[in-house]
Chains A and B, each alone.
Chain A
């Protein structure tokens, strides 16, 4: 019976696919295709330009694919020392910073996800309030300064040790994905709150740890402002600060240009370097991105549950 009804609706759908719907589909596909091209084209252009010859780029001969294929820009970047110091520093901040983030977030999320904890709502309120109001840049800067963290690696990690938004996502995960009976059963077996966290909750938390790692790591990798205000020693600069000098202020290390004779060749190389650098800087994020996309989507959805 049920199957006949379903079969009927299926045929009906085909019958009722009206003229309006066909026009709608056409328009819909057209709009999305245009949107796709608008997003994709600049990305392709950058990659193609970075693999082209400098003079082809600055004379506008690169349209879609690389013209006069060349790896020169990448060779230059490979020899560019400050870029690699920045890369190493960014990697350090991302790895250490994210580890600290994960520990603090999971600790706080575990306690705050427990309905039976006295004062949970008030403490949660204190966390959430900071999403909507904060002391501001100057008092925070003065605090970091008074703590003696100015111009140290700690300044890139400790003031950002926790994000309340990610905390909310983790709490939502513990509430929705871990059945409450698990705690009761563990309790009956004489498990205390420490043991429950480390032996039962953590092994079940791989998905949320993945989500948090990605959110935090990308945030650290892309971080620019913190470094700008807290760091002045070039040896500590993350990649983003180095990128800013080259991409935005056009300050290219002149040693890189030694072998080039004419002004035009230097200029072409400078532009070429920028395109290649954009690719190199985005590669770590864009490589892991397709693999982790589903986790990101999941994280956003968890966040949306709580609003």
Chain B
């Protein structure tokens, strides 16, 4: 160990930056086994996460199967401009953002309200049943979830339309009305995820000092007042953190659910960026890799900017930020 340090010292002189470098080297040498552990994960990260970022440059080239990335002609922003000028651009952007904002407006507050409400219950069989049952739908796969939605909303045999029939009301072709797609998408998501999303808030609520509640009780505060003045401020930091993360996801409407719910009748409202990238790039006779990659890259960059903006805003108005 010491010979290594002296060797470096001899080579670079004893000025302070090189001394720091010497320390670093010594530290690395001492814990080389830790880097052995990291080798495989880092190799995977470079290949499967960072190489595709390098490969994303095909968005600026005319890439064709059989050619190498660098061997494809550089076309600059052509694909991006084509996308911005295409009639799909506005539709995709408004569908994608519309679905996310709607999901966020409905799906974000509901778990908070349920968590606050559950937190008021004494631990007992009712509380445990609500938790256990409401978490369950979260574990259903997207395919099964969409299968469920289609079964329930079926025009002729779905229970909802059977009920409408029984009540003497006209049946509704839910999946055939494009304007109903956002409602179906968002509220089925609420059904599936609200229960499970309470977990994190319940965890935060359990860390609130009970002495605060006792003191408030002595001062004569009722339950609502205690929720508002103790519980809500208590979960504020985690709420803001989750809100920032959600803002960063505004453009990432999950592929699976939107894709599986799509049919020719609702495509007008159900086509989102991720499903369109898949169709342009991987389906159909002409493999339009570069154009699809450009749309994907536009999506990723805009998503990152949104996250950074949300983080900045949160930093300014509260003390919560991701980085």
**Which residues of A are in contact with B by a Cβ distance under 8 Å?**
9, 12-13, 16, 18, 20-21, 24-25, 28-29, 31-32, 35-36, 38-40, 42-43, 45-46, 57-60, 62, 104-105, 107-108, 110-112, 114, 116-119, 123, 126-127, 130, 132-143, 158-159, 161-162, 167, 192-194, 197, 218, 221-222, 224-225, 229, 240, 243-244, 247-248, 267, 271, 274-275, 277-278, 281-282, 285-286, 289-290, 293, 296-297, 300-301, 304, 307
Please give, as numbers and ranges, the residues of chain B lying within 8 Å of A46 by CB-CB distance: 148, 151
Please give, as numbers and ranges, the residues of chain B lying within 8 Å of A59 by CB-CB distance: 162
Q: CA A7 – CA B50 in complex, angstroms?
A: 62
Closest to A40 in B: B133
Tell me the chain B residues, 269-304 only, with Cβ under 8 Å from chain A. 274, 277-278, 281-282, 289, 292-293, 296-297, 299-301, 303-304
Q: Which 9 A-B residue pairings sit nearest by Cβ, starting from the closest?
A: A135-B52, A247-B147, A136-B296, A60-B162, A139-B55, A222-B141, A108-B41, A193-B33, A139-B52
Partner of B121, one of A32, A221, A286, A289: A32
Closest to B254 in A: A225
Is B204 part of the binding interface, using a Cβ–Cβ cutoff of 8 Å? yes
Closest to B26 in A: A118
Q: CA A20 – CA B49 in complex, angstroms?
A: 55
**What's the minimum C-beta distance from A60 to chain B, rounded to whole angstroms?**
3
Q: CA A108 – CA B256 in complex, angstroms?
A: 29
Please give, as numbers and ranges, the residues of chain A lying within 8 Å of B256 by CB-CB distance: 224-225
Q: Can you list 20 residue pairs at the A/B interface with Cβ under 8 Å?
A: A16-B220, A32-B126, A104-B44, A126-B50, A132-B248, A133-B303, A133-B304, A135-B54, A137-B278, A137-B292, A138-B58, A159-B48, A162-B44, A162-B45, A194-B36, A225-B255, A247-B144, A247-B147, A282-B144, A307-B322
Partner of A32, one of B40, B42, B130, B322: B130
Is B266 part of the binding interface, using a Cβ–Cβ cutoff of 8 Å? no
Contact, CB under 8 Å: A135 / B162: no
**What's the minimum C-beta distance from B14 to chain A, rounded to whole angstroms?**
20
Contact, CB under 8 Å: B52 / A134: yes
A43-B136, A119-B28, A139-B58 given; 6 more Cβ-contact pairs under 8 Å? A32-B121, A123-B38, A132-B303, A142-B58, A244-B143, A248-B143
Interface centre among B55, B58, B200 (most CB of A within 10 A): B55
Which of B80-88, B93-101, B112-120, B177-185 contacts the other chain? B112-120
How big is the B interface, by class? 35 or more
Provide the B111-141 mask, 1 if CB < 8 A to any CB of A, else 0. Answer: 0001001101100001001101111110111
Is B169 part of the binding interface, using a Cβ–Cβ cutoff of 8 Å? no
**What's the minimum C-beta distance from A255 to chain B, rounded to whole angstroms?**
21
Contact, CB under 8 Å: A229 / B135: no
Please give, as numbers and ranges, the residues of chain B lying within 8 Å of A248 by CB-CB distance: 143, 146-147, 150, 260
**What's the minimum C-beta distance from A113 to chain B, rounded to whole angstroms?**
10
**What's the minimum C-beta distance from A168 to chain B, rounded to whole angstroms?**
12
Contact, CB under 8 Å: A118 / B33: no
Q: CA A193 – CA B30 in complex, angstroms?
A: 10
Please give, as numbers and ranges, the residues of chain A lying within 8 Å of B156 by CB-CB distance: 58
**What's the minimum C-beta distance from B118 to chain A, rounded to whole angstroms?**
7
Contact, CB under 8 Å: B204 / A134: no
Contact, CB under 8 Å: B162 / A281: no
Please give, as numbers and ranges, the residues of chain A lying within 8 Å of B214 by CB-CB distance: 9
Contact, CB under 8 Å: B55 / A39: no
Is B317 part of the binding interface, using a Cβ–Cβ cutoff of 8 Å? no
